[in-house]
Amino acid sequence: MNDPVDYRMNDPVDYRMNDPVDYRMNDPVGKTRKIKHTNRSKTAKFLKFVCPNSSECILFGKESDKIRSFFNGFTDFKYLETNATRLRIPSKNGIIHRLKYRRKEYVAYAILKSINMKQSEDSASGSSNPDNLIYEYLVGRFLNRMSQRFSCFIETYGLFFYKSDVDLREMKKMKKVSAATLQSSLIMEPVGENITYELLKKSCDQYKYVAILLQEIHEPFTMYSAVKSSTFVKTELLQTLYQVYFPLATLCNYFTHYDLHSENVLLYRLDAGKYATFHYTRKDGSIIVFHSQYIAKIIDYGRAFFVDKDINSKMLQKTICNISSCGNCGKRKGYDWLNPSATLSSDSYIASDRSNISHDLRLLHDIRSIVLPRWWNSHTVELGSFMYDLETKLKYGVGIQSAAKKEYGTKENRAIGFPSAIHNVVDAETWLSQLLQLPSVRESQSVFYTGKTKIGDIFMDTESSVRFVQS
């Protein structure tokens, strides 16, 4: 890309609304379309024929509307096959349950995330001020639309409230939860196209009772665990990183994740011996093509900055600050990151009310700490100068005095630094695109994928909907 600055959208700081209370946003999920098949058995057979693996289809957006509609949007828990299983994921902010649905021999998955509020100051689990899940839900609604353009975002299915403290406490204790318990403990919040003042007030008044239902593809693993494998590093690291940084560069003025470490990027492997070919059309018209066995998914949006058509983080902050029951701009209601301190460096430059196009380099910084001690300047045939560049060009932890906190953030630098430096996500995308086009990298990929089965091609660009063409 000759001029990475052109890759950015208009600066979201200029977005204003006359009435900060009247947030309007088109519902990216909307009402699930009615399937034309009146016979649900026919629908099941249709899905089994065109989408035998629901996880794979949801990954590529193939028939995802039909799958969601077939399971009633996943939100009534009617087709929960077995008890929801609590996952042992080390998280202070959230309690996670995995849900497996089955209807007419067709299987799909979802995740229920509940706030993990610390029960007392002496409690070892939970947080005294976990991130607000209604805020994460609102970010998720925006990213539902973005998931129509890029493959790296998960969908958000629904918003719920627990009926009582008893229901919430029981959910925290139970490792297995039945459909009947979910139906009796949770009330789904009907959220229309308009984000109302009442919902934002409720986000403070009933903060600890919120749960959100999210897309889940079966049996993922984290980027953190993947990059400890030499085989993965040699054969898949560049491709999975590009799946993350192409969208982040495209949306850099409209979205900052602010917590993009290697455990918040999940990898889903296609069936053994299978791969897809990715085609990315960049802003300058050049096309990056590569193969991969993996789909990368970014999760955990509770600290993100976002700008949608009629709603954005800055306007949310203003409204929350005007709701008396939120108290001190919601700082004790999970909105702490939406109201950073005067000295941003003390908050690791995490400020959900504004973009920071450098902060999401945290993933590369995280990977650097894992791979360089193992393979410094290695795998140059498969990765080109990746290791050397990671060591010498990545600028992260800038402006943070405490050595212990340098891994958590960096001061924004909007200047284009590449090829001499990687200052931001735009630089990262440019750097990765050039590595993927190196003859040695392309040749090693060609050799590695010889004999494997291609399932199809996935096409993405900076403006259109993602397209998947089955082989």
Q: Mapped to the 3 state alphabet, what secondary structure does 157-210 carry?
A: EEEEEECCHHHHHHHHHCCEECHHHHHHHEEECCCCCEECHHHHHHHHHCHHHE
Report the candidate in 300, 307, 322 with the shortest Cα–Cα distance to residue 94: 300
Name the phi and psi angles at 294, rounded to 5. -125, 150
Residue 360: what residue type? D
Find where tokens 């016979």 sit: 39
Q: Which residues are 343's β-sheet partners?
A: none
Find where tokens 């925290």 sit: 172
pLDDT recorded at residue 154: 93
- As a whole number of angstroms, the distance between CA 204 and CA 326 comes to 5
For residue 405 the two structure tokens come to: 């906190």
**Strand (E) positions, 351-407?**
none
For residue 342 the two structure tokens come to: 């005067």
Residue 192: what residue type? G
What single string gives the DSSP state of each residue in 417-448?
-TTT-B-SHHHHHHHHHHHHTSHHHHHHHHHH
User: In a structure prediction context, what are the per-residue pLDDT tens digits for the chain, which is 471 residues long?
Assistant: 333 333 333 343 333 333 333 323 333 333 333 434 445 677 777 777 777 777 777 777 777 888 888 999 999 999 999 889 988 654 566 789 999 999 988 889 999 999 987 654 444 455 778 999 999 999 999 999 999 999 999 999 999 999 999 999 888 888 899 999 999 999 999 988 888 999 999 999 999 999 999 999 888 999 999 999 999 999 999 999 999 999 999 999 999 999 999 999 999 999 889 999 999 999 999 999 999 999 999 999 999 999 998 889 999 999 999 999 999 999 999 999 998 888 899 999 999 999 999 999 999 999 999 999 999 989 999 999 999 999 999 999 999 999 889 999 999 999 999 999 999 999 999 999 999 999 999 999 999 999 999 999 999 999 999 999 988
Three-class SS state of 354: coil
For residue 371 the two structure tokens come to: 């791979």
pLDDT recorded at residue 263: 95
The pLDDT tens digits for 27-68 are: 333 333 343 444 567 777 777 777 777 777 777 777 788 888
pLDDT recorded at residue 126: 56
